Amino acid sequence: MSTQSMSFNLRVWRQEGPQEPGRLVDYKVVDISPEMSFLEMLDELNVQLTRKGERPVEFDSDCREGICGMCGLVITGVAHGPLSATTTCTLRMRHFQDGQTIEVEPFRAAAFPVLRDLVVDRTALDRIIQAGGFVSQNAGSAPDGNAIPIPKDDAENAMDAASCIGCGACVAACPNASAFLFTSAKVSQLAYLPQGRPEARRRVASMVRQMDLEGFGNCTNHGECEAVCPKEVSIHHIARMRKEYWKAMLG
Amino acid sequence: MNQTFLNAPPEESARILDARIPPGPLERKWTDHRGHVSLVSPANKRKHTILVVGTGLAGGAAAAALGELGYRVLNFCIQDSPRRAHSVAAQGGINASKNYQNDGDSDFRLFYDTVKGGDFRAREANVYRLAELSGAIIDQCVAQGVPFAREYGGTLANRSFGGAQVSRTFYARGQTGQQLLLGAYGSLMRQVAAGTVTMLARREMLDLVLVDGRARGIVCRNLVTGELETYAGDAVLLATGGYSTVFYLSTNAVNCNNSAAWRCHKRGAFFANPCFTQIHPTCIPQEAETQSKLTLMSESLRNDGRVWVPAKAGDHRSAAEIPESERDYYLERIYPAFGNLVPRDIASRAAKRMCDEGKGVGKTGRAVFLDFQAALERLGRPVIAERYGNLFHMYEEITAEDPYRVPMRIYPAPHYTMGGLWVDYNLMTTIPGLFALGEANFSDHGANRLGASALMQGLADGYFVIPYTLGAYLAEWRPQPISTEHEAFAQAAAEVRQGIQSLLEVAGKEPVRDLWRRLGHICWERVGMSREASGLNQALEEIRDLRKSFWQEVCIPGGERELNRSLEMAIRVADYLEFAELLAMDALHREESCGGHFREEFRTPEGEALRDDERFTYVAAWEYTGDLQRPRLHKENLKFEHVQPGQRSYK
Ligand SMILES: Cc1cc2nc3c(=O)[nH]c(=O)nc-3n(C[C@H](O)[C@H](O)[C@H](O)COP(=O)(O)OP(=O)(O)OC[C@H]3O[C@@H](n4cnc5c(N)ncnc54)[C@H](O)[C@@H]3O)c2cc1C
Ligand code: SF4
Ligand code: FES
């Protein structure tokens, strides 16, 4: 265990409920070891606040290993913080300077209302998937797993797209609060696989419509989404989704 | 508090539990049972409301499959989206006896390996069914678009995993659980769109509602508003995962908990084999003291990594400075037949033994090396990168060390719980209408689970078992409609509210997290990797004392009717404080070593687990008899007709 100890000046977004006004509040957090993750640092802050009889800061997290997509904070202006290909929960404090001032805000977007402090509602992303992000396949009716050979490259490409964890950082980073990267990841995954082809047209049309209905913005190719995506989902999936979309519209 | 009964032998019920295993030969049981159970007609299915708690592989698959059949399903989870259930974190893979590799696999072999791996404490009929269904799971997932790894020819790839001598593990990079879960989630979202499934996320089940002795509903806390909500239905399916977080330090997610199962236990569901807990051998050692979540390094790493420690105790040189001749590749030395691939319980205990002997490495001395040097030389960096790239990356991100150049440091950590609610062959608990699926039940893994078999079990339970057995229950019973107007709902909700208020009224000074850590410390030290009678007795007393302190000292800032994580955590820890006692008591009563349950007093001259088949070939199912009352022990005797229990040897 480390003997080195760090401290930070935090400016944390506090908001009591969806309708309440929010503001940045200053806290000093001490006794942080460089091995700690950003969320363990916030846990520590919360322990310190609790001992002082103050209300802890609410934030979402679960797996704490970068796979569930539940965590997500804007750290000094960047979704998931300064390190690329990293989620908030896997970001270690050794990447910050001792004594640094760190601003911590929720993932913001019109479609992601704040519930409390740093916790936002991202159910809009579920509704995009409900619009068609699946293969219509009932349990019990599947052919043998090896019945349809799939070229290794297609499987790998599908897997790249499928690694999206649904965190919503792409939305938070986008100046238009667009959900194109998230949506394209699912469209593209299923477009690479023969299993996804029968419903391809309906899927892309319906998911894109839902995206608009939820109030996500349009994509104007800023590329901020790709830059913050913890799973390095590539914007080439957006190009692919556009192609699929036009195929659906014209065909 | 009455401390006297703690050390007394448990009160035993004379009634022997009946698992309702169908008659007939092993390999025909499930097919015949399925073919003979009563069915609910398609028109009637939509009249039944089914409450499914949990959206992991077990709950998500069940909710989707029942929706597809036309039931009205209400599906609950703690997270903001069903896609985040902790199944998402599984890395290594999922087993199936497809025998695609032509290497001699079969349903029987998978069955045999699982029964043996479980150290002969699992129910044969259940395990056989699991093996039998394993192939259909892969078919289902492929059809959903799960991007499993493939060979250049386009067929599905396999690897050998967790000590299996055949290659039967299917995988999607190091993200198998995520991909399987997203497959189930897709199917679930399709049913939500179709209107059969209603998703109720950010809800925590805090009680079961019984009407005329049957499970008819649940009480939930809405985690955003803090309101208590009640839901009624014709059956309740519990798929709420395992209880490894009772140890505080674990590979499980921070919201994993045992509250739903524990509260069902208090309403009459027996809890089986709580002491069967699994410690995973390859986790990244703890870095900071407050850290609760430990990161697992997939077991698949042991296929190519070699485990070693310095041969001499107290050798603090870095790995590079220790010459080959002064290294002890202890797994290869002690278990030549299986080497680095011995099952988890064996690998974990061996690591602990090495560290106890002073040969541990790293700053704390509680770690062993997992070294890829030989594999890198043999296979080259690109092959290793393709196999384990993301795991190496994850390791480096956490430790700031590059495993391509220095060996990984690993140490065991609580990971999986074989124990859980007792269920019969139909996955029904001792409460009619309450079913338990996935890690929440005790059914298939005996005293130790083999790698890549939990995902298999969750999906088998959800997609392929419960649709039949639930139908049979409903068809035979024909429930009358029920609504939350029934007085039992208001009463259960009032009890939950009372519990929450008592917690808030404590108004002490201690943050919940610190109390949870103290509980975890007791459990890890005395009810962890190795156990013995005096330590267990001591644990029982310490747990009681801590429980007393908890109810005097806990501090929960904020109120009931708001989003309040401290309150959520306090509720879960309060339940764990009760449950931990049962865990220790079960460990104390089982005077043998088997699988993940290792009692220092019961071991072979070589230090391996020593079972006592004569006395303990049974499932210990505990009945709740009241707070601070001695629980009553019920036994389900296990019969081994197809696999002869033998001393498990991996030498
Ligand atoms: C790091 C890690 C790696 C693993 N790797 C593998 C592997 O490679 N292969 C393998 O076979 N197994 C693996 N396992 C084990 C396997 O992942 C789990 O046993 C399995 O996924 C559990 O699935 P489940 O559906 O039973 O529960 P979970 O996936 O844990 O889901 C539990 C669900 O219940 C909900 N819930 C819990 N309590 C409540 C409540 N009170 N009210 C409402 N909802 C509630 C949760 O929100 C969640 O939706 C791994 C486990 C871990 C931790
Ligand atoms: S595309 Fe990337 S940033 Fe967007 S939700 Fe998926 S993982 Fe998160
Ligand atoms: S908590 Fe799961 S990705 Fe961060």
Do the chains contact at A136 and B557, CB–CB below 8 Å? no
**pLDDT in the model for residue A3:** 58
The best mutation among A68, A86, A164 to test binding of ligand 3, ranked by most ligand atoms within 8 Å of the C-beta, falls on: A68
B134 lines ligand 1 (CB under 6 A): no
Mean pLDDT for each 10-residue chunk of chain A (251 residues)?
81 97 97 95 97 96 97 98 96 97 98 98 98 97 97 97 98 98 98 97 98 97 97 98 95 74
List of chain A residues whose C-beta atoms are within 8 Å of the C-beta of residue B135: 145
Residues of A in contact with B80 (CB under 8 A): 60, 70, 121-123
Q: Under CATH, which number does the domain A123-250 receive?
A: 1.10.1060.10
Regarding the beta carbon of A168 and ligand 3, being less than 6 Å apart is answered no
Q: How many helices (H) and strands (E) does chain B have?
A: 18, 22
Task: Name the DSSP letter for residue A34.
Answer: T
More confident residue, B363 or B222: B222
In 3D space, the residue among B299, B260, B308, B261 whose CA is nearest the CA of residue B278 turns out to be B299
Burial of B590 (0-12, 13-18, 19+ CB in 10 A): buried
Nearest to B154 among A63, A86, A150 (CB): A150
Q: Which residues contact A27 (CB under 8 A, 6 or more apart)?
A: A9, A10, A11, A12, A45, A49
Atom of ligand 3 nearest to the CA of A62: 1
In chain A the first and final C-alpha atoms are separated, in Å, by: 62
Among A123, A144, A213, most B C-beta atoms within 10 A, so best to mutate, is: A144
Could you tell me the residue range of the domain that residue B597 belongs to? Answer: 4-9+487-620
B80:A70 CB<8 A: yes
Domain closes at, from B414, B435, B470: B414
Interface test with B, best of A41, A63, A107, A146 (most B CBs within 10 A): A63
Alpha-carbon distance of B393 to B400, in angstroms, equals 10
Please judge whether B178 and A46 are an interchain contact, meaning their C-beta atoms are less than 8 angstroms apart: no
Taking CB atoms and an 8 Å limit, are A35 and B288 in contact across chains?
yes
- Cβ of residue A40 lying under 6 Å from some atom of ligand 3: no
Q: Does A163 touch chain B (CB under 8 A)?
A: yes
Single out the residue in B376, B391, B414 at which a domain terminates.
Answer: B414
Instruction: Please report which confidence band the pLDDT of residue B1 belongs to, taking 50, 70 and 90 as the band edges.
Output: very low
CATH of the domain at B601: 1.20.58.100
For a pLDDT cut of 70, what percent of chain B falls above it? 99
What pLDDT does B174 receive?
A: 85
Of B178, B203, B204, which to mutate for an interface test with A (greatest number of A Cβ within 10 Å)? B178
Burial B389-416 (b: 16+ CB within 10 A, else e): ebbbebbebbbeeebeebbbbbbbbbbb
- Maximum CA pair distance of chain B? 75
B289 contacts on A by Cβ (under 8 Å) = 1
What is d(CA B456, CA B52) in angstroms, rounded to the nearest whole number?
A: 19
pLDDT higher for B81 or B290? B81
Q: What would the pLDDT profile of B382-420 be if each residue is shown by its tens digit?
A: 999 988 888 898 899 899 999 999 999 999 999 999 999
Q: What is the pLDDT of residue B335?
A: 94
pLDDT at residue B301, rounded to an integer = 92
- Which residue, among B68, B78, B84, would best test binding to A if mutated, counting the most A CBs under 10 Å from its CB? B84
Q: How far is B258 from chain A (nearest CA, A)?
A: 15
Mean per-residue pLDDT of chain B: 95
In a domain, B261, yes or no: no
pTM, whole model, 2 decimals? 0.97
Q: How confident is the model at residue B6 (pLDDT cuts 50, 70, 90)?
A: low
Q: Name the residue with tokens 């989003």.
A: B563
d(CA B259, CA B266): 10
- Please check whether residue B286 lies inside any domain of the structure: yes
Q: Closest approach of chain B CAs to the CA of A59, in angstroms?
A: 9
Is B405 known to be catalytic?
no
Q: Does A246 touch chain B (CB under 8 A)?
A: no
- The pLDDT tens digits of the residues spanning B548-587 come to 999 999 999 999 999 999 999 999 999 999 999 999 999 9
Mean pLDDT calculated for residue range B518-536: 96
Whether residue B612 sits in one domain with residue B509: yes
Residue at B322 is within a domain: yes
Q: Which chain B residues are within 8 Å of A70, Cβ to Cβ?
A: 79-80, 84
Ligand 2: residues with CB < 6 A are A 164-170, 181-182, 185, 229-231, 233
Domain ranges of chain A: 6-115, 123-250
In the predicted structure, residue B9 carries a pLDDT above the cut 80: no
Query: Does residue B296 line the site of ligand 1, with CB under 6 A?
Result: yes
Element (H, E) at A250: helix A236-250
Q: What is the assigned CATH class of domain A6-115?
A: alpha beta
Question: Per the domain annotation, does B252 fall within a domain?
Answer: no
What 3-state DSSP class applies to A119?
Answer: strand
Q: What is the pLDDT of residue A2?
A: 47
Our mutation pick for probing the ligand 2 site, out of A68, A165, A228, counting the most ligand atoms within 8 A of Cβ, is A165
**Residues B442-481: tens digit of each pLDDT:** 999 999 999 999 999 999 999 999 999 999 999 999 999 9
Q: Could you give the CA distance from residue B419 to residue B278 in angstroms, rounded to a whole number?
A: 10
| Mean pLDDT calculated for residue range B638-651 | 88
B284 and B410 belong to one structural domain: yes
Q: Report the gap between the CA of B54 and the closest CA in chain A (Å).
A: 14
Q: Nearest CB to B187: which of A61, A134, A158?
A: A134
Please choose, from the candidates A93, A70, A153, A56, the residue with its C-alpha nearest in 3D space to the C-alpha of residue B398: A93
Ligand 3 pocket, mutate which of A41, A89, A91 (most atoms under 8 A from CB):
A89
Residue whose Cα lies nearest atom 7 of ligand 2: it is: A164
Nearest-CA neighbor of B284 among B457, B430, B471, B413? B413
At residue B186, what is the residue type? G
Q: List, as one string, the DSSP characters of B204-271.
A: EEEEEEEETTEEEEEEEEETTT--EEEEE-SEEEE-----GGGGSSBSS-TT---HHHHHHHHTT--E
Is the Cβ pair B287, A143 closer than 8 Å?
no
β-partners of residue B197 are B73
pLDDT of B435 > 80? The answer is yes
- Please name which of B193, B235, B190, B238 lies closest in space to residue B76, comparing C-alpha atoms: B238
| H or E element in which residue A89 lies | none
**Rounded to whole angstroms, how far apart are CA atoms B600 and A246?**
68
B519, B541, B520, B521: which is closest to B585 by C-alpha?
A: B541
Dihedral over Cα of B371, B373, B375, B379: its sign: positive
B158 near B168, Cβ under 8 Å?
A: yes
**Is the Cβ of A227 closer than 8 Å to some Cβ of chain B?**
no
A88: DSSP letter? G
pLDDT at B501 over 90: yes
- CA B267 to ligand 3 centroid distance, Å: 34
Contact at CB, B143 and A90, closer than 8 angstroms:
no
Distance A86 CA to ligand 2 centre (A): 11
| pLDDT, greater one: B388 or B232 | B232
Which residues in chain A have their CB less than 8 angstroms from residue B182's CB? 162
pLDDT of B649 higher than 80 = no
Band (pLDDT 50/70/90 cuts) for residue B5 is low
The residue of chain A nearest to residue B293, with distances taken between CA atoms, is A64
Say yes or no for a CB contact (<8 Å) between A55 and B187. Answer: no
In a domain, B636, yes or no: no
Cα dihedral sign, B135-B137-B140-B145: negative
Question: Model ipTM?
Answer: 0.98
Q: How far is CA A162 from CA A211, A237, B80, B585, in A?
A: 18, 11, 20, 44
Whole-angstrom CA distances from B515 to A2, B398, B496, B525 are: 23, 26, 22, 16
Instruction: Work out how many CB contacts closer than 8 A connect A with B.
Output: 230
Cβ–Cβ < 8 Å for B589, B620: yes
pLDDT at B7: 58
Which atom number of ligand 1 is nearest to the Cα of residue B176? Answer: 8
Longest Cα–Cα distance in chain A:
65
Task: Please pick, among B344, B409, B449, B544, the residue that the annotation labels catalytic.
Answer: B344
**Ligand 2 centroid from CA A90, angstroms:** 15
Task: Please name which of B520, B425, B446 lies closest in space to residue B116, comparing C-alpha atoms.
Answer: B446
- State the total domains in chain B: 2
Burial tier of B110 (Cβ tally within 10 Å: 0-12, 13-18, 19+): buried
